[in-house]
Amino acid sequence: MAEPAIRRLLAGDDASRFRCGDPEYDIFLQRYAGQNQDRLFVGTTYAALDGQRVVGHVTVAVGQLDRDDLPEGAHSRLPRYPLPVLRLARLAVDEAFQGRGLGRRLAAYAFAVALHVRVTAGCVGIVVDALPARVGFYADLGFEELELTGGQSPIRPQPVAMFLPIGAVEAAVS
């Protein structure tokens, strides 16, 4: 069987049969992913397709890391302006396609998008909203947990924000 192809979600793609095991993720893909992307321009979804049927997806958005206000006299090597990142907000695979490495390909695809954003617009790294069960997976890739005081993912259970410098992805592909 041919591996599903990955590309940007299009209006004609069939997500109606998508079932990943978490209804909230299914509803997001079926109702809001296209709207986020094509009408509000606040995120982009890349779909894995078996024919016209969506069998996996990863949703990314540009974001920025900002420091909580530092105490008077404190110093930091980080610049005072926000740092641009690509946020990997959602990744899900249809139950019929789970266990075949498709989730890994979708993650790799999102990381390749981050490399592209670095060149075209600037990007110091990737922030992933990792589900608690996937924290170990992302830690193996080199991601490190971040404690946030604002901008946490609204998904429940609360994902863990994790950071990887873009240089690590460059090193992995060079």
Which residues in the 61-100 window bind other proteins by CB under 8 A? 61-70, 74, 76-78, 80-83, 85, 87, 89
Nearest to other proteins of 96, 168 (CB atom): 168
Angstrom distance (rounded) from CA 85 to CA 101 = 25
**How far does CA 151 lie from the centroid of its chain?**
15
Q: Is 132 in the site for other proteins (CB under 8 A)?
A: no
* Residues numbered 7-46 forming contacts with other proteins, rule: CB under 8 A: 24, 28, 31-32, 35-36, 40, 42-43, 46
Angstrom distance (rounded) from CA 143 to CA 166 = 11
CB of 55 to other proteins, least distance (A): 14
CB of 50 to other proteins, least distance (A): 14
Angstrom distance (rounded) from CA 159 to CA 144 = 13
- Dihedral pair phi/psi, residue 23, rounded to 5°: -55, -30
CB of 91 to other proteins, least distance (A): 13
* Residues numbered 102-131 forming contacts with other proteins, rule: CB under 8 A: 104-105, 107-109, 111-113, 115-116, 124-125, 127
Nearest to other proteins of 16, 64 (CB atom): 64
Whether 129 and 155 have beta carbons less than 8 Å apart is answered as yes
Nearest to other proteins of 53, 59 (CB atom): 59
- Least Cα distance to 76 among 86, 84, 65 occurs for 65
Angstrom distance (rounded) from CA 62 to CA 23 = 25
User: In this structure, what token pair is assigned to residue 56?
Assistant: 């996996």
CB of 79 to other proteins, least distance (A): 10
The DSSP bridge partners found for residue 93 are 56
CB of 12 to other proteins, least distance (A): 19
Nearest to other proteins of 53, 103 (CB atom): 103
